[in-house]
Amino acid sequence: MYLIIRCPGCLTFTYVDRYQQWKLCPACGESIKVSNAPAYIDVKTHRDADSIVRELEKYLHKKKRNNLTPIEKRKLNADYAQWMRKNVSDL
């Protein structure tokens, strides 16, 4: 399991192992204390995390905004849960 978080310094999205306590920001090099970083979604694999990080960055850049709205955060979680249910049922 991986958490998608944001660097409090530069607001870059990144991901960490669920039990990781610290992360070095890949963009600015800040040491991120995971428990203090804004968490957006908990995903199953690093591939999912990597893909979602890229999509979130593209989405916010396209919308010319700095953050997701609370509604968008809930939709992100709901869409991922639905995608996971579909993929599990396809096995």
Dump pLDDT digits (tens) for 35-63.
Answer: 999 899 999 999 999 999 999 999 999 99
* The overall pTM is greater than 0.85: no
Smallest CA-to-CA distance from 68 within 48, 42, 38, 45 is with: 38
Distance CA 48, CA 31 (A): 23
Q: How confident is the model at residue 13 (pLDDT cuts 50, 70, 90)?
A: very high
Answer whether residue 9 shows pLDDT above 80.
Answer: yes
Dump pLDDT digits (tens) for 14-27.
Answer: 999 989 999 999 99
Q: Quick one: pLDDT at residue 87? A: 76
Rounded to 5 degrees, φ, ψ at 38 are -65, 125
Distance CA 6, CA 86 (A): 28
Residue recorded with tokens 């204390």: 33
